[in-house]
Amino acid sequence: MQNDKTSPQKLRGKFGDKTIKDKKGVAIKLCLAILGMLVLINAIISFTEADLTIGVAEIGFLEDSISLDGYIFREQELIISPVGGVFEPIVADGERVGRGERVAIVYVGSLPAEVLDELRLINDRIARSMTNTNRGDLFARDPVALERQIADSASAIIEAAYLRDGERLAGARQSIDELIVSRNLLLGGMQEESDTIARLEQERSQIEARHGVIRTDLFAPKAGMFISNLDGLEEHLQISEISGLMPEDIDRFDEIPVTRSAEMVPGQAVSKIVDNLHWYFVAVVDTVRIHPLQVRNTANPTEANRIASTVWLRFFDIADTRIEGTVAHISQDIGGRSVIAISARGHVGSAYASSRVSVDLVRRMHRGLRVETDAIRVLDDGRTGVFIVRNNLAMFREVRVLHNTPEWSIIYQDTNYRNQGNVVRLFDEVIVSRRDITDGMMVR
């Protein structure tokens, strides 16, 4: 009789195939689960990085400044011509001269155009050589000061390049170029320039003799900076009157036309010598914009220790150099306007050629870590800070904002090494664009 029971070999084959099929099913399900997990992780990362903009915390500074149009008040003395004729300066505008130094020539009467052009060409070359000689003389007694200024200018170039400030970079480069010319003169070029001046003056004398030119020399009545142009405001801008100036006085200055007579007659003022080392900038400003500036108060005993605010002036249309000054006068408020006067000591090149100037009045300079203003956030609990990226996670760090503009903010840089784990550090990545970030959220 045939046995209906399945043999052990067949049983093993039957259940063995089922086991293999089950293992294959588990493996497939596991692969699908892993694939799904990877897709989910990728979706999460894509979602968290969507519209994510990252900035970097860098060293920077911002100025709290206002732009003003105003006037330069300085000690100055006019140069009077005793004769009429053609006025020709032989010293470059803005050049510092000594008392009694020859600064200009007046050619009596009229001259043929071609003769005048020839004389002007030589006078211009003399003026350039004298400028180079004066640069060398300036540092002849203190060559260390020259090297120090060159080093300062080099540092300014590095800082401007770091801040990507092209305008300031160009100004610093020009400054260091001029200082290098001065150093080259100290190293042996001064005698060569002096010989050049003597040769050019001899050529000029020969031209004058050949054409029968009569000239009168003009000399500096005092030491200072030579300015060849007069603007008609010299008699109005008196330092002694600054403390009493009111907004309406400045308004009257604005109405005075800047003029210079085309005809030169005997006894006429033709140029001036100004004090370029101590001067005042005076302007009208909205009273609300003066805060928190103050003047030293010596009249009130209870405020005797109050010192004048320190500010900085930058003649933005002339040079990027900042000149430090102090607040010397603030008038009373008249219709929401006040007069402010800044006392300054420093040289600003061609800023002295005109009494009317435009400046940036820097009330404060804030230095710290610079971040984009859009990165600054205020949480529901009132804390102000930014989100930085640490270990691919968004971490909230409280900050103290020193100053901000619509584009940039300066935050306090905590240099205490004990706090470095809890503060924004230099070169930290700062999240700018996402507004739905939470502390500890994965962003990468």
Q: Which residue, of 189, 213, 237, is where some domain finishes?
A: 213
pLDDT tier at 350, thresholds 50, 70, 90 = low
Res 137: pLDDT: 46
Say if 189 falls within a structural domain: yes
Say if 134 falls within a structural domain: yes
CATH value at residue 406: 2.40.420
Say if 322 falls within a structural domain: no
Would you report the helix, strand and coil content of the chain in percent, each value rounded to 5?
Answer: 40, 30, 30
Q: Quick one: average pLDDT of 118-130?
A: 82
Give backbone dihedrals phi and psi of 94, rounded to 5 degrees, phi first: 85, 5
Q: How far, CA to CA in Å, does 420 sit from each of 60, 201, 356, 400, 425?
A: 19, 68, 50, 15, 7
Supply the DSSP string of 208-225, one letter for each residue: HHHHT--EEEEE-SSSEE
Q: Which of 115-119, 182-186, 251-255 is predicted least confidently?
A: 182-186
Res 138: pLDDT: 46
What is the tally of structural domains in the chain?
2
Task: Give the contacts of 123 (CB within 8 A, at least 6 positions apart).
Answer: 88, 89, 90, 105, 204
Q: Quick one: average pLDDT of 107-118?
A: 83
Minimal CA–CA distance to 236: which of 219, 259, 218, 220? 259
Supply the DSSP string of 297-363, one letter for each residue: --SSGGGTTPPPPEEEEE-TTT---EEEEEEEEEPPPBTTEEEEEEEE-S--GGGGG-SEEEEEEEE
Say if 235 falls within a structural domain: no
Q: Quick one: average pLDDT of 204-217?
A: 86
Res 304: pLDDT: 47
Q: pLDDT, tens digit, for every residue of 129-160?
A: 776 665 544 444 455 555 666 677 777 777 67
Res 247: pLDDT: 96
Q: pLDDT, tens digit, for every residue of 23-79?
A: 566 667 777 777 777 666 655 555 455 568 899 999 888 888 899 999 999 999 999
Q: Quick one: average pLDDT of 13-22?
A: 54
Q: Do residues 376 and 409 touch, judged by C-beta distance below 8 A? A: yes
> Which helix (H) or strand (E) segment is 127 a member of?
helix 113-140
Res 259: pLDDT: 64
Q: Determine the Cα–Cα distance for residues 386 and 379; give it in Å rounded to an integer.
A: 10
Domain that holds residue 427: 54-61+367-431
Say if 99 falls within a structural domain: no
Strand partners, 319: none
- Here the tokens at position 41 are 């992780």
Q: What angle do CA 236, 239, 243 make, to 5 degrees?
A: 105
Q: Which residue, of 156, 185, 213, is where some domain finishes?
A: 213
Minimal CA–CA distance to 88: which of 65, 108, 64? 108
- Here the tokens at position 141 are 């007694």
Q: Which of 201-215, 364-378, 399-413 is predicted least confidently?
A: 201-215
Say if 240 falls within a structural domain: no
Res 147: pLDDT: 65
Q: Which residue, of 183, 213, 243, is where some domain finishes?
A: 213
> Which helix (H) or strand (E) segment is 107 a member of?
strand 102-108
Say if 320 falls within a structural domain: no
Sign of CA dihedral 207, 210, 216, 217: positive
Q: pLDDT, tens digit, for every residue of 269-281?
A: 999 999 878 899 9
- Here the tokens at position 290 are 């003066």
pLDDT tier at 385, thresholds 50, 70, 90 = very high
Burial class, 9, CB count within 10 angstroms (exposed 0-12 / middle 13-18 / buried 19+): exposed
In this prediction, what percent of the chain has a pLDDT beyond 90?
A: 30
Q: Quick one: average pLDDT of 362-374?
A: 91
Q: Which of 5-14, 86-95, 216-225, 323-332 is predicted least confidently?
A: 5-14
The answer to whether residue 301 scores a pLDDT higher than 50 is no
Minimal CA–CA distance to 354: which of 27, 16, 30, 76? 76
The answer to whether residue 372 scores a pLDDT higher than 60 is yes
Say if 321 falls within a structural domain: no
Q: pLDDT, tens digit, for every residue of 393-409?
A: 999 999 999 988 899 99
Strand partners, 18: none
Res 75: pLDDT: 92
pLDDT tier at 414, thresholds 50, 70, 90 = confident
